[in-house]
Amino acid sequence: MTVPTLVVGVGMGGIRVVQTLAEFVKDKGEVGDYRFIAIDSSKKDLQDRIKSGYNIIPVGITEEGFDVEDMISKCQYLYEGAGGKGVGALRDRVYGRFLLDLNMSKVGEAVDASLKDLKEKWKKERGEKKAQIMIWLVHTLGGGTGSGAFPSLVVNVHKLAKEILEDKDIKPYIFCVGVLPSATNIKDITHANFDKRYLANSYSALRELELLANAKNITLTQFNPYGSNPEIEIMERPFNRYFLFGIDEDMVRRLKDEEAEAVDEYLTSSNKIIANMMYALPNYPEGLENLWRDVKSPFIAFGESELLVPIEEIKRVAKENDRLGKTVEEEIKKKLKGELDLVVNSSIGELNEGFLEDKCKAILNNHKLRGLSYFIGKSQNEFNKKATKAQTDFEDGVGDVWDELEREEWAKDKIETSEGLSIGDKYEKIVDMLEDRIRDIEKTISSWISEKLHPILRRMLNNEKGKHNKTLNELSEKKDILDKLKLLKSHIDSNLCKSLRVEIGHEEDGVSEVTTHIRKLEVELEKQYKKLSEEGGDRVVKLGIPEEKANDLTMIEKGINVANVESVPDFIKTFNIKDDAVEKLIKNRIEQADDISIRVGIVAKEKEEKEAPSKEFFILCHKDNEATLGKHEKAFTGWEKERIITETFDRGKYVFVDFRLGLHLEDIKEYKYRNEEYEDGTLAKTTGLKEDIGRIFAYPEWFMDDENVKGVYKKIIQ
């Protein structure tokens, strides 16, 4: 069991991470150890992003239910001219703070209930063990809601955690994640193709974080819509650690211009990076109290990469291989043709729909889907031939009898008056004529004058009667055969394999539908073969297998049997993957996690300056896969590392998380460059805020010495 954990996301970026992590832990059967709160200023975003069934409490911090203009006029910290937004904070950080204060009672109730729930869970499941509860707060730094609400939120959560937990000897650990917007060219944002307010907002948010991280007698002034305005004296840092993760806003804007789906994919990938890191820390084997004890600064940047081993994928492919069966080559074709001959040559009396369905089932059992597809395709051809021959035999038979009757005196007139009839109508006419003729003969033979009939004439009449009966029987038999074959052909064309829908998985019956369905399965399987061989790149790399081997994967037969592949060591052994190939991939993952493109830019340190931030790696994997890491220890040479081993983690995945520990805000390029621009006035011009640049600060009472702040926040000064 992991440390009981509360995850609070505020703003759009925060609630997206909440949903991602909730899905992540539910997939591992651990959602019961977590409680989630999603806070946003848009009810629609909460409805669209947050799903039910994940222990997530949605909390809307909106204007709804308030006389907003009246509240704005009474709020002591808003700038002059502030007005209602309708929905959201619209990148106005101080308005995000205001929306949180309006709805603080709802937020407090959700946090209070979640912490008490986790407290009871700890007491019930952990007993007298040293009690810990982890609290995550996730937000973005560049927007309005998450960025502006965060300082007030973390202070209030810290206060509640101390009140609810510490009196019960439960130690709360408050870790925070801030998503930092960045530009492709961090130093010169003049040509950045997105709203530069994001960068100005993130700068002011970092300034406020810096004060919280070094809290010494600062005061948080809150606005209470229901009474007097409370103040909270901040005597200590309200969080233990603060993790920074960078997003390239230039890339997001380019992707939006080119393809909306690509934006979602990029952000989803970013959310997964954050979720993987957040999942790893509560599983730290030495306990949270010992995590980075000697690292004084709370600020940490991180990156992440994954190594996937397609254990479940090879099993799915193997099952589909087994289901489809071997490719139908000459030896199998010969066997199937023999089975088909038995069917085609069966007497017409034996042939029926049930017979055909049973035969298809037997073929499916013995030769799988590919064999069945070949068999029913050939069956359709043979029964088409058989039905065509029966049609010809029937038409020829009717034609011959018709011509013969045309020469008979007793039938000639009726034939001549029946021109233009179809074969079917001719058949019915022949039956009527012959049956009438037979009745006439029988009447003559049985009448009173029959005693006077000459024996030769009697014999002639009996012979004629016998001939007509024979003709009727022959035509009837031909018609019965034709009718039965037509029914069978119709069944083959439209209903064959109806009894095998579950086994085959098709929705429409008949040869064409079934063979098309099987062909689609083959095409999809070929795509899966290719995916197994693809190694990927950037954040996620896969230990693939050659495409030609995928065809031999099986769960039940000879070949590459993967039924017992349950771990990465099993996978490596089964596919005879060389050690140097595995080690190369591990090194690649370390380098990728460390790559500056997926983490916060760090300022290079001069030799005479203090030491650069230290590095540490966490490797997250299933316990059955730990042996592979042990075998490749030298890949981690030069790195401090910690293995996070669980029994619930994905058996086909390693996650590498790179931490840059002991950061100070001046180590971060975004902070350093924006601070220089703020001081020399460039940021005010670049963002278009000009004399209103002071509005980027959401907590003006902390910056009363700043002329820009004093220029716009006149109410709080008074």
Task: Report pLDDT digits (tens) over 383-419.
Answer: 999 999 999 999 999 999 999 999 999 998 888 888 8
> In which band, very low, low, confident or very high, does the pLDDT at 20 lie, cut at 50, 70 and 90?
very high
In tens, the pLDDT along 342-386 reads: 999 988 888 899 999 999 999 999 999 999 999 999 999 999 999
pLDDT at 252: 66
Give the residue-averaged pLDDT of 505-511: 95
Among 712, 718, 702, residue whose Cα is nearest residue 214: 702
> In which band, very low, low, confident or very high, does the pLDDT at 184 lie, cut at 50, 70 and 90?
low
**Count of residues for the chain?**
718
With 60 as the cut, is the pLDDT of residue 128 above it? no
With 90 as the cut, is the pLDDT of residue 474 above it? yes
In tens, the pLDDT along 210-261 reads: 999 998 889 999 999 988 888 999 999 999 999 999 887 766 666 555 666 6
> In which band, very low, low, confident or very high, does the pLDDT at 424 lie, cut at 50, 70 and 90?
very high
pLDDT at 193: 65
pLDDT at 607: 46
Give the residue-averaged pLDDT of 459-488: 94
Is the four-CA dihedral 235, 239, 241, 244 of positive or negative sign? negative
Higher model confidence: residue 715 or residue 90? 90
For 352, residues 6+ apart whose C-beta sits below 8 A from its C-beta are: 488
Higher model confidence: residue 558 or residue 422? 422
> In which band, very low, low, confident or very high, does the pLDDT at 608 lie, cut at 50, 70 and 90?
very low
The percentage of the chain sitting over the pLDDT mark of 70, rounded to a whole number, equals 92
pLDDT at 259: 62
For 374, residues 6+ apart whose C-beta sits below 8 A from its C-beta are: 328, 332, 333, 336, 367
Higher model confidence: residue 310 or residue 611? 310
Higher model confidence: residue 557 or residue 100? 100
> CATH 3.40.50.1440 region(s) of the chain?
5-295+665-717
pLDDT at 222: 94
> In which band, very low, low, confident or very high, does the pLDDT at 269 lie, cut at 50, 70 and 90?
confident
pLDDT at 718: 64
41, HSE (Cβ side, Cα atoms, 13 Å):
30
- In sequence order, the β-bridge partners of residue 659 are 302, 616
CA angle, residues 570, 309, 33, in degrees to nearest 5? 100
Q: Which of 420-434, 530-544, 590-604, 634-648 has the highest mean pLDDT?
A: 420-434
pLDDT at 492: 96
In tens, the pLDDT along 111-124 reads: 999 999 999 888 77
pLDDT at 393: 96
pLDDT at 594: 80
With 70 as the cut, is the pLDDT of residue 456 above it? yes
pLDDT at 145: 96
With 80 as the cut, is the pLDDT of residue 591 above it? yes
CA angle, residues 84, 88, 93, in degrees to nearest 5? 85
* Cβ atoms within 10 Å of 231's Cβ, excluding its own: 11
Choices 3.40.50.1440, 3.40.50.2300, 3.50.50.60, 2.40.240.10: CATH for 5-295+665-717: 3.40.50.1440
Confirm if 103 and 62 have CB atoms less than 8 A apart. yes
In tens, the pLDDT along 527-545 reads: 999 999 888 878 899 999 9
> In which band, very low, low, confident or very high, does the pLDDT at 571 lie, cut at 50, 70 and 90?
very high
pLDDT at 19: 97
Among 39, 99, 81, residue whose Cα is nearest residue 222: 99
Cα pseudo-dihedral 425, 428, 430, 435, rounded to 10: -160
Beta strands in 142-256 (DSSP E): 170-182, 218-221, 231-234, 241-248
> Across the chain, what does the average pLDDT equal?
90
* DSSP track, 461-495: HHHHHHHHHHHHHHHHHHHHHHHHHHHHHHHHHHT
Q: CA-CA distance, 265 to 268, in Å (whole number)?
A: 5
pLDDT at 422: 94
Q: CA-CA distance, 615 to 638, in Å (whole number)?
A: 10
Confirm if 630 and 211 have CB atoms less than 8 A apart. no
pLDDT at 505: 94
Q: CA-CA distance, 415 to 409, in Å (whole number)?
A: 10
Q: CA-CA distance, 34 to 2, in Å (whole number)?
A: 9
For 112, residues 6+ apart whose C-beta sits below 8 A from its C-beta are: 160, 164
pLDDT at 448: 62
pLDDT at 470: 96
Give the residue-averaged pLDDT of 511-532: 96
Q: Tell me which H or E stretch contains 661.
A: strand 653-663
With 60 as the cut, is the pLDDT of residue 437 above it? yes
pLDDT at 597: 45
pTM: 0.83
Among 594, 598, 577, 595, residue whose Cα is nearest residue 535: 577
Instruction: Bin 504: left if φ > 0, else alpha if -120 < ψ < 50, else beta.
Output: alpha
Give the residue-averaged pLDDT of 553-562: 93
pLDDT at 692: 93
Q: CA-CA distance, 220 to 152, in Å (whole number)?
A: 7
pLDDT at 715: 81
Name the DSSP class of 292.
T
pLDDT at 124: 76
pLDDT at 606: 55
**How many angstroms from the chain centroid is the CA of residue 574?**
28
